[in-house]
Amino acid sequence: MEMAKRIWFSLVGQPIFLLVLFSPLIPFVCGRNVQNSPSGLYGFTGISSFRLINRRSLLTCPDPNPYLAINVTSVDPLANEQNVTVTVSGVIIPDKSDWVAMISPSDSDVSSCPVNSIMYQQTGDFSSLPLLCHYPVKAQFLSMDPSYLKCGKKECRTHASNVCVLRTCSGSITFHVVNIRTDIEFVFFTGGFETPCILRRSQPLKFANPKMPLYGHLSSIDSTATSMRLTWVSGDRSPQEVQYGDGKSQKSTVSTFTRGDMCTSDLASPAKDFGWHDPGYIHSAVMTGLQSSQTYSYRYGSESAGWSEKINFHTPTAGGSDKVRIVAFGDMGKAPRDLSVEHFIQPGSIMVIEAIEKEVASGNVDAVFHIGDISYATGFLVEWDYFLHLIHPVASRVSYMTAIGNHERDYVDSGSVYETPDSGGECGIPYETYFPMPSSSKDKPWYSIDMGSIHFTVISTEHDWTQESEQYKWIEKDLASVDRSKTPWVIFTGHRPMYSSQGGGIIPSVDQRFTKAVEPLLMKHKVDLVLFGHVHNYERSCFLYEGECKGMPNKDKSGLDTYDNTNYTAPIHAIIGMAGFSLDAFPIIVGKWSLVRASEFGYFRIQGTKEQLSLEFVSMRTENVEDKFNIIKAKR
């Protein structure tokens, strides 16, 4: 039945009345809209149909046959990472709607939660009849076992005169499991994701060491590159330590967040309700007394909780020195390393992080900048652990700097500029706990840092940036304070773009008020390069100001686009949100300012010397550099 709903969106304090017709109802996803129906979601690679699971009523299975069983083959207890094979047996007629969910903790209420149906509106998905009061970590259809549907693995249950009169079938699927501290169980459902009912549940499986220190990741704390922060996760609340260099150590400070810390409006959010998962304890310690551009080793943990492996890491180039090599991208997220579906999957994330891992291993990266939309956990908190596991080979070896995005911060009535439900009620709390950046205080996630010849100004597009705001004043002060003799280059970065050819859905990708408010500061303070994400592709501009090209790059001898900033013209913008989320296409007609476009997964390389910035877009389609340009400046 056709129905109309009215939603108020208060954008930057100016309410916009939005009348949306819902049939079916429409959720908002990062500037796009997706039909909330199985047919609308199937084939949309960024969102699996599994997202519908919490909007299905849990039916009672017809009396299951007595032979049904679910068994788990794994290391007992569970290691920090392994593949767990789950076998269901005793199935009389295998059906393509049979599936298995991994649920944690095992004592979660997964039977029914009809009272909470209204809460699901807070995901931006309008529906009723939630299935699971506690959302599964992941799930797989048994048809992933190619022999299951044709009963390739048989067991004889009843014989008569040496003839088997009742055969049952079995099937096995494999789950990639990492240490999430809380015990897990596997639940055998039939009825698909649309009409599910529970057939059998496994015994709970415990992790051997829920206190194990894991997922250590580095960040810089200042421009000297003589101190590095290490942040890690453990089920242990007692302070631990990082041991590094030749016999140095630092004790950790311990923090965490609780379900009560998750934000909400009149209705509970996913983070506060069915998406909650205990994060354990987040430890952080600053390794001091280092030298820039050096390799050291460390391990972290304690005698009682255990120790991490020994890891080599690289300190960045100090601010004011010459050469620096950075990898940057936005909107990466994570994807499962098995055949599972999860609530939110970013299909390009694994290939991109593995390519960056190779660059880091070759010693060619000083630091990484991930400019918003970090894990896409969006209120389903166990996905932070899987994300931290995914980036660990990179983030444990070089500084992993971040900016906040809409999927970390935005929520209704939470103080975010955009009152969309994009963070699922996280409201930046898990983000700033997992990724402490050199910001001045909580919920003010803007900062700057010098690396080599580049000054990075990192802002939050999700916090107030209007002219009277604290952030605006900070941006102005920060840009004015740059010593260009030390760092001749200024890169300004955040999450939402000022320009994009991709128009977006109901909520546009570009907020003109943001561009109008902040762009004059970039011009005034001669920002060289502006990097944003949020839109999931790669795009680069001319010298751009107020929507118009103020100049064009020249071709150098090898035909490479070269922007000459000796006599400053205007900022150059690049969108680099192509690191994982399903890609955005470009319209046929684009503005004159858009010089290069690529709708491909990949990442961005920045190499700086005092004379030149060399920029490259590395595409995962070709595993090659698909755009390259330079910015030069003659010495004064």
Per CB under 5 A, residues contacting Fe ion are 30, 373, 405-406, 534
Joined tokens for residue 215: 């997922």
Burial of 240 (0-12, 13-18, 19+ CB in 10 A): buried
Cβ contact 379:423 at 8 Å: yes
**Continuous segment of H or E residues that includes residue 329:** strand 324-329
Q: Please, what sign has the CA dihedral across residues 297, 301, 303, 305?
A: negative
How far is residue 173's CA from residue 153's CA, in Å, rounded to a whole number? 13
Give the sheet arrangement for strand 399-403, strand by strand.
253-255, 281-287, 228-234, 214-220, 399-403, 367-371, 324-329, 602-608, 612-619, 624-632, 561-564, 554-555
CB 568 within 8 A of CB 594: no
Residue 536's identity, in one-letter code, is: H
Q: Which of 500, 497, 515, 498 is nearest to 587 (CA)?
A: 500
- Per-residue b/e over 524-533, b at no fewer than 16 CB within 10 Å? ebbbbbbbbb
For 213-294, list the strands marked E by DSSP. Answer: 214-220, 228-234, 241-244, 248-251, 253-255, 281-287
SS3 501: coil
C-alpha dist (Å) from residue 567 to 456, 482, 547:
21, 18, 20
Distance CA 625, CA 412 (A): 41
CA 114 to each of CA 128, 200, 264: distance values in angstroms, whole numbers, following the listed order: 8, 22, 19
Please state whether beta strands 163-178 and 153-160 pair in parallel, antiparallel, or not at all (unpaired): antiparallel
* Rg, the chain, Cα only: 26
Provide the token pair at 182.
Answer: 């809380």
Of the candidates 450, 482, 472, 564, which has an alpha carbon nearest to the alpha carbon of residue 517? 472
Under 8 Å between Cβ of 566 and 484: no
Beta strands of 398-468 (E only): which ranges?
399-403, 447-451, 454-458
Q: What are phi and psi of 55, to 5 degrees?
A: -120, 25
For 253, list phi and psi in degrees, rounded to 5: -95, 145
Phi/psi-derived region of residue 13, left when phi > 0, alpha when psi is between -120 and 50, beta in every other case:
left
Return the structure tokens found at 394: 């990179």
Q: What angle do CA 630, 455, 311 make, to 5 degrees?
A: 95
Torsion angle (degrees, nearest 10) of CA 120, 126, 129, 131: -50
Question: What are 249's strand-pairing partners?
Answer: 243
CB 421, CB 263: distance < 8 Å: no
Longest CA–CA span in the chain (Å) reads 99
Residue where the block lists tokens 């998406």:
275
- DSSP letter at 355 equals H
